[in-house]
Chain A
C-alpha cells in the first residue's frame, strides 16, 4: 500500500508539469493579452508594462522563470489585473471562502443524499421512496443558476430573512443560501446513486444469507449492506469533493462571496496569466490528491481490491 501511494505521488509530479506547460501554451494562443483594452495602449506604454512583468522575454524564458519562482520562493507570480495583489494573495483570500462553503455543502450533500438514498432503498416502492425519487428528479432539473436568484428573491426580498449576498467573514446568515444553492443538485445525484446501489446490494445473495441466519434488519444493513453499497457513492464523491471545494463561479457571481471560482473565471477573461496558472495548479493538485484518497478508500471498502 505504501509503495502504491509513493508511486502515485511520483506520477503526480509529471502530471502537474504537463498541466502547467499545456496551460501556459494555451493561454498564449488565446487572442488578446492581459493589456488588450478598449483603449489600446500606445506602443511605448505597452512596452513599458510588458518589460515590467517580463512579458518581453521569450516564452521558454518566461516559463522557466515562473517554474523557478515557484520552486525556490513559492512565488506564483503577479496579477496583471490587480497591482496590489499577487497570485498568492488572491488564492489566500479566495480559497478559504470557497473551502468553507464547499466543505459545508459537501457534508450537507453527502449526509442528506446518502440518508435519503438508504431510506428510499429500504422502503422500496413505498410513498417514502416515491417522494424521494420525485424530489431528487425535480432538484436535478433545477440548476444552481436558476436556484440562486430564486433564493435571493424569496429569502431576501419577500421574507427579508437573509442577506442577499456577501460573505462577512463567513457568518452563518451569509452561508445559508450559497450552501443550499450549491448542494441541492449534488444531494439529488448522491441520493440516486445511493438508492440504486443499495437496492442492488440488498438483492445480492450474501444479504439473503445474512437475513436467513436471523440477523435483525438494521444489523443486516449496517454491518453487511452498507460497505459494498457505498463503493459507487465513494467514487462519485471524490471528484465531487474537489469540484465543490474548488468553487463554483455561479455561487460567487450570484452571492458575491468573493470565492476562488469567480477569480478563476475572471483570470481567464482578463488574460491574467499567472492567476490562471496558479489556480489551475491548485485545482490540479487537489484533483490528483483526492483521486488518490478515493483509491485508498476503495481498498478499505472492498476487500477484493488490492494494490
Chain B
C-alpha cells in the first residue's frame, strides 16, 4: 500500500465507521423489526466465481457479487420489477428504436469520481470488443443494440456501437429492431458500468480487491480464490444511508452436505438443500427451509437430426415416451423440494406468461399410460419388437436418479429398452452439441424474464437447439413475437405446437430450495430470477 492508498483506506474506514452504525441495534425503517448488532450475511457458493468484471462474468455466483459491487441503469425489486438504479428512468421513442436514460447526478464511484454516461458507453463498447473477447458479448447482440453483431464479428470498429452520451447525465441507446423486454435486460451484469481510468490503469488485474473501484452499494474487500470473497458497504454509494447490511461473505463449499452441516452449526445464513432432504428439513426447521419457483426448466431432447434414430422421427413414439413419464414421482419422491411437474416448456412463473392448456396436462397418469401404450403399438412396437435407444445425461446423482426412474417407467409401462450413459460435463456438452446422442438431458435458465428466452431454443436458427427440431410455424411465430405488443397468444400457439409435436419431453420446472436463517430479512423470494441485492437484506435481532 502506498501512502495515497493508505489515506484513502483510512478515509474509507472513517466514513464506514461514521455512517455504519446508523442502523445497528436500531429498527428497520420500513418493517420496524429490531435489527441485529452485527449486520453480516454469510452464504454458500458451490464454486469459485469466474470473475467480478461485469463485462466478463458468466456464472450465477459471479453475477450475484457483481450486482452488489456495481449498479446498472435499472435494478430489480423484491418482486423482480424494474426500479431505478444509476438511471432515474428512461424514455422510449415512438418507433421503439431509441431509449434515452437519465442518470442521477449523485452517483459516485467508490474512489469519489462521479458516475457519468460515458462510463456506460465505455463498458458497453468493452463488452462487444473482439479484443476483450467477452464470453457474454452475445448478450449485447441479444439486446439488439445497433451494430453489436457486426462489431463482435470484427466487421465494424467498436466505436460504431449504437450507444452514446450526449452529456454526462444522458445515455442514448439505438436498437436495430424493437425489443419489448429491452429495459429488463439492463439489470444484467454485462450492461453495468466500469470506471475507464481504473480498467486502463490495471488491465486484467483491475478486479483484484486492491485495485477495484465500483459504483454499487458494496466494495470488494477480500478475495481468496476457492475459499471466500468479502464485500463491504460502500460509503460512496448514492443511497448508502439506506443500506443496512454491513458485510456479505461468500464461502466456497463444494459439498452440499458439508454446507448443510455448516448451516446447522450456524456458520452460514443460506445454503442449498440437497435433493430429497427438503421434507425432513421442513419438518425440523419450519420457516427456515424454503422453496419457491425458479426461472429454469428440466427436459429431455430427442435428436431429430439426420444422425438421430429413425424411431424418433415418428411423432407417435415421441409422444408415447413423453406421456409415460410419471412426473409426480420425480418431483415428489426423487427431488421432493417443491419442483413443479412440467408438460410445457416455459416455466409458469415467467413474467406476463400464462401456461397454455395442453391435452397431456389435463389427463390422469392412468389415461396417459393407456394412450402411450396405444400410440407405441400403433407405431409398430411390441414386446417382440421393443423400442430401444440410449439416453445420456451429465454425471450427477440427481440426474442419474431421474434417468433411472424414467427408464424404469418406460420399461414397465411400454416395454421400452433404454441404455443409460452418463458423461463428464464437457464431454456431454460436446456430444450433445454435435448431435452424437439419441435422447439427451437438457436444462435451461432464462437469461431474462420473458418467455422467448425459453421458446427461442426450439427455433431452427437457435445455436442451443441441440435436437435440431425445425418447424417453420414455430420459427415464424417467434419472429413475430419480437415485435408484437401482445405476445401471450403467440406463445400459447408455440407451446401447443410443441406439445403436439413433442421435440422435447418437459420433466419439471425448477424450484429454489434453500435453508435460510430466520434472522435474514428481505430475501426476495418472489424474484423469480433470484436477482438479489445485499443492499435490500438485513439481519434481524434474535
Task: Indicate, yes or no, whether A interacts with B.
Answer: yes
A10 within 8 A of B: no
B38 within 8 A of A: no
Smallest beta-carbon distance B50→chain A, Å? 6
Q: Which residues of A contact B135 (CB under 8 A)?
A: 35, 37, 41, 45, 49
Q: Which of B133, B267, B427 has the most CB of A within 10 A?
A: B133
Are the C-beta atoms of A84 and B251 separated by less than 8 Å?
Answer: no
Are the C-beta atoms of A252 and B429 separated by less than 8 Å?
Answer: no
Chain B residue nearest in CB terms to A169: B224
B34-83 interface with A by 8 A CB criterion: 48, 50-51, 53, 56, 58
B253 within 8 A of A: yes
B214-253 interface with A by 8 A CB criterion: 224-228, 251-253
Chain A residue nearest in CB terms to B224: A258
Are the C-beta atoms of A32 and B53 separated by less than 8 Å?
Answer: no
Are the C-beta atoms of A165 and B258 separated by less than 8 Å?
Answer: yes
Are the C-beta atoms of A157 and B426 separated by less than 8 Å?
Answer: no
Are the C-beta atoms of A84 and B261 separated by less than 8 Å?
Answer: no
- Provide the bound-state CA to CA distance between A82 and B205, in Å: 11
| Stretch from A148-156, A209-217, A223-231, A294-302 forming part of the interface with B | A148-156
Q: Which residues of A contact B153 (CB under 8 A)?
A: 44
- Provide the bound-state CA to CA distance between A94 and B204, in Å: 20
A138 within 8 A of B: no
Would you give the 0/1 interface string for B256-268, flagging 1 where the beta carbon is closer than 8 Å to chain A?
0110011011010
Q: Which residues of A contact B253 (CB under 8 A)?
A: 165, 256
Of A52, A157, A257, which one neighbours B261 at CB under 8 angstroms? Answer: A157
Would you give the 0/1 interface string for A7-45, flagging 1 where the beta carbon is closer than 8 Å to chain B?
000000000000000000000001111011111111011
How many cross-chain pairs have Cβ atoms below 8 Å apart between A and B? 139
Are the C-beta atoms of B262 and A45 separated by less than 8 Å?
Answer: no
A164 within 8 A of B: yes
A167 within 8 A of B: yes
B114-150 interface with A by 8 A CB criterion: 130-131, 133-135, 137-138, 141
Would you give the 0/1 interface string for A37-65, flagging 1 where the beta carbon is closer than 8 Å to chain B?
11111101100110110000000000000
Are the C-beta atoms of B227 and A83 separated by less than 8 Å?
Answer: no
Are the C-beta atoms of B251 and A253 separated by less than 8 Å?
Answer: no
Are the C-beta atoms of B427 and A45 separated by less than 8 Å?
Answer: no
Q: Which of A31, A52, A165, A263 has the most CB of B within 10 A?
A: A165
Are the C-beta atoms of A84 and B208 separated by less than 8 Å?
Answer: yes
Q: Beyond A45-B133, A165-B251, is A32–B430 a contact (Cβ under 8 Å)?
A: yes
Q: Which residues of B contact A45 (CB under 8 A)?
A: 133-135, 137-138, 152
B464 within 8 A of A: yes
- Provide the bound-state CA to CA distance between A37 and B426, in Å: 7
Q: Which residues of B contact A42 (CB under 8 A)?
A: 138, 141, 152, 463
A93 within 8 A of B: yes
Q: Bin the interface of chain A by size.
A: 35 or more
Q: Beyond A152-B261, A166-B227, is A36–B51 a contact (Cβ under 8 Å)?
A: no
Of A35, A51, A164, which one neighbours B258 at CB under 8 angstroms? Answer: A164
Smallest beta-carbon distance A119→chain B, Å? 35
- Provide the bound-state CA to CA distance between A75 and B227, in Å: 25
Q: Beyond A31-B427, A39-B464, is A166–B228 a contact (Cβ under 8 Å)?
A: yes
Are the C-beta atoms of A93 and B225 separated by less than 8 Å?
Answer: yes
Q: Beyond A51-B133, A84-B208, A149-B255, is A32–B429 a contact (Cβ under 8 Å)?
A: yes
Q: Beyond A48-B133, A93-B225, is A156–B261 a contact (Cβ under 8 Å)?
A: yes
Q: Which of A44, A94, A257 has the most CB of B within 10 A?
A: A44
Q: Which residues of B contact A271 (CB under 8 A)?
A: 426
- Provide the bound-state CA to CA distance between A36 and B48, in Å: 18
Q: Beyond A31-B426, A156-B265, A164-B262, is A256–B227 a contact (Cβ under 8 Å)?
A: yes
- Provide the bound-state CA to CA distance between A266 and B252, in Å: 13
Are the C-beta atoms of B154 and A82 separated by less than 8 Å?
Answer: no
Are the C-beta atoms of A84 and B227 separated by less than 8 Å?
Answer: no
B181 within 8 A of A: no
B471 within 8 A of A: no
Chain A residue nearest in CB terms to B434: A31
Q: Which residues of B contact A32 (CB under 8 A)?
A: 426-427, 429-430
B366 within 8 A of A: no
Are the C-beta atoms of A156 and B262 separated by less than 8 Å?
Answer: yes
A160 within 8 A of B: yes
Smallest beta-carbon distance A44→chain B, Å? 4
- Provide the bound-state CA to CA distance between A262 and B257, in Å: 18
Q: Which residues of B contact A148 (CB under 8 A)?
A: 258
Of A82, A152, A156, which one neighbours B48 at CB under 8 angstroms? Answer: A82
Of B51, B206, B255, B429, which one neighbours A38 at CB under 8 angstroms? Answer: B429
Which residues on A are within 8 Å of B, measured CB to CB? 30-33, 35-42, 44-45, 48-49, 51-52, 81-85, 90, 93-94, 148-149, 152-153, 156-157, 160, 163-167, 252-254, 256-259, 262-263, 266, 269-271
Q: What 10 A-B pairs are tightest by C-beta distance, nearest first?
A: A32-B426, A258-B227, A48-B133, A164-B262, A258-B226, A49-B133, A32-B430, A31-B430, A157-B265, A48-B130
Name 12 interchain pairs, CB-CB below 8 A, sorted by A.
A30-B426, A37-B135, A42-B463, A44-B152, A49-B133, A82-B50, A84-B206, A252-B226, A253-B255, A262-B226, A269-B424, A269-B426
Which residues on B are within 8 Å of A, measured CB to CB? 48, 50-51, 53, 56, 58, 130-131, 133-135, 137-138, 141, 152-154, 204-208, 224-228, 251-255, 257-258, 261-262, 264-265, 267, 424-427, 429-431, 433, 443, 463-464
| Known A38-B429, A256-B253, A269-B425; 10 more pairs at CB < 8 Å | A32-B429, A36-B429, A37-B135, A44-B152, A84-B207, A165-B262, A167-B224, A254-B255, A256-B228, A258-B224
